[in-house]
Amino acid sequence: MIVILKPNVAHEKREQLIEWLKAQSLGVHISDGAFQTVLGLIGDTSKVDLDLLASLDIVESVKRVSDPFKCCNRKFHPEDTIVSVGEAKTGGGYFSLIAGPCSVESEEQIVSIAKAVKAGGATMLRGGAFKPRTSPYDFQGLKAEGLELLKIARQETGLPIVTEIMNINHIPLFEDVDVIQVGARNMQNFDLLKELGKLNKPILLKRGLANTLKELLMSAEYIMASGNEQIILCERGIRTFETYTRNTLDLSAVPMLHELTHLPVVVDPSHATGSARLVPPMALAAAAGGADGIMIEVHNDPMHALCDGAQALTPEQFAALAEKVHRVREVLAV
C-alpha cells in the first residue's frame, strides 16, 4: 500500500502518521521527492483501514499495490535512484561505462587494461577475482590476490572497482571493494543477498540465467529489505533455445524495469552474446534503449585470455565503442 502525502505537510503531523502506521506492525518506507512524499507500507496491510487513512487531512491519496516487491517499486519511490561511487554515477540520467577483463590475471594485465579503458572513457573497472566457472577444471580466478591487484589498478587509475562475490564468508574480503557484483549464478542466493543488504556499499545485481524480471526484482528486494538501497540491476542475457549466441539479450528488460523500479539498469552485452563482434551493436542498442550504463569485457590480448577471450574487446575497440555510445546518447537527449 502506498500513501501519498499532500505537499508541505508539517513535519510533526507526518511523524505522528508514521508512528501510527508503525504501531500497526507495518514497515514504512519514506520517499521524499522534490514535490511529494510517498510512504510505502510494508507488511500485512490487510487490516489497515484504507478509508480512514484516505480521510486524514495530510493525506492526498492511498493506493493498494499488489506487486510483491515494495522497496524497489517505482510506485513507492517515483524518482530514479542514482547510485554514486565517487564521481561515477549511475541512473537518473547518469551513464556508467564499466569495462575490464573477465578475470584478473596478473598485476601487469589488470593495471595495463585499467589504464587503457580509462583512456577509452570507462568510469569503473571490472575484473573477476573469484570466478564462477562452469567447469571445475577451468581457471577459478586469483581470489584474494586478485582483489589486491584490483586495488592496485584503482590506485593507478582512480577508477572504482567492480568485482564478483561468490561466497557469503568472503564478505570481509570485499570491504575495500567499491561495487560488489552478484553474478547471474548467485542471483537467488538469498542468504548472500540478505548479508549484502546490511552493507553500506553499492551492489551490482545480475539477472539469473533463467530468471524473470519479477524474480530479479524480488532479489533486489532482499537486499533493500535488509537496508541497502544502492543497487544497480544488470541485464546480461538469458538462456533460450537459440545457440548461435551465448545467451539471448533481453533488451526489452531495460524499459520494462524502468517502468517497474526506480533502480538503475545497466546492460552487459559481453555475456549476453559471447562474441566480441556482436558486443558493439548490442551495446549501442542498449544505450538507445535507455540503459543507465553498459558493462563490457576488455582484454589487451583476447587470444590468450584465461577466461571469455571470445567476447572480449581490445582496448582500441572499446574506445571506439565508447565514443559511439556517447553519440547515441546525445541523439537521445535532443
Look up residue 112 and give its three cell numbers: 595495463
Please, what's the b/e burial string for 2-32 (b: 16 or more CB within 10 A of its CB; e: otherwise)? bbbbeeebeeeeeeebeeebeeeebebbebe
Q: Which of 89, 118, 206, 299 binds ligand PEP (CB under 6 A)?
A: 206
Q: What would the x/- binding string for ligand PEP be over residues 93 to 132, using CB under 6 A?
A: ---------x-------------------------x---x
Site membership for ligand PEP, residue 271 (CB under 6 A): yes
Closer residue to ligand PEP, CB minimum distance, 20 or 190? 190
Closest approach of Mn ion to the CB of residue 103, in Å: 7
- DSSP-derived letter for residue 171 is G
Residues touching ligand PEP: how many (CB under 6 A)?
10
Site membership for Mn ion, residue 308 (CB under 5 A): yes
Q: Which of 98, 102, 213, 260 binds Mn ion (CB under 5 A)?
A: 102
The rounded distance, in Å, linking the Cα atoms of 292 and 233 is 10
Part of the chain binding ligand PEP (CB under 6 A), chosen from 7-15, 134-142, 166-174, 182-190: 182-190
The rounded distance, in Å, linking the Cα atoms of 326 and 252 is 21
In which residue are the cell numbers 520517499 written?
31
Part of the chain binding Mn ion (CB under 5 A), chosen from 27-35, 136-144, 202-210, 304-312: 304-312
Closest approach of ligand PEP to the CB of residue 269, in Å: 11
Closer residue to ligand PEP, CB minimum distance, 4 or 164? 164
Part of the chain binding ligand PEP (CB under 6 A), chosen from 55-63, 183-191, 217-225, 257-265: 183-191
Question: Which positions ≥6 away from 203 have C-beta within 8 Å?
Answer: 179, 180, 181, 182, 196, 223, 228, 230, 231, 232
Part of the chain binding ligand PEP (CB under 6 A), chosen from 45-53, 88-96, 181-189, 225-233: 181-189
Closer residue to ligand PEP, CB minimum distance, 1 or 205? 205
Tally of helices (H runs) and strands (E runs) in the chain = 10, 14
Q: What is the DSSP string of 217-228?
A: HHHHHHHHHTT-
Closest approach of ligand PEP to the CB of residue 153, in Å: 16
Q: Which of 70, 74, 236, 246 binds ligand PEP (CB under 6 A)?
A: 236
**Helix H or strand E segment including 153:** helix 144-157
Look up residue 82 and give its three cell numbers: 542514482
Strand order in the sheet with 37-42: 27-32, 37-42, 2-5, 59-63
The rounded distance, in Å, linking the Cα atoms of 185 and 271 is 13
The rounded distance, in Å, linking the Cα atoms of 182 and 111 is 23
Indicate which of ligand PEP, Mn ion, none lies near residue 132 (CB less than 5 to 8 Å, by partner kind): ligand PEP
R_g (Cα) of the chain, nearest Å? 21
Closer residue to Mn ion, CB minimum distance, 189 or 311? 311
Closest approach of ligand PEP to the CB of residue 60, in Å: 42
- Dihedral over Cα of 118, 124, 130, 135: its sign: negative
Closest approach of Mn ion to the CB of residue 297, in Å: 6
Site membership for ligand PEP, residue 183 (CB under 6 A): yes
Residues of this chain that bind ligand PEP (CB under 6 A): 102, 128, 132, 164, 183-185, 206, 236, 271
Residues of this chain that bind Mn ion (CB under 5 A): 102, 308
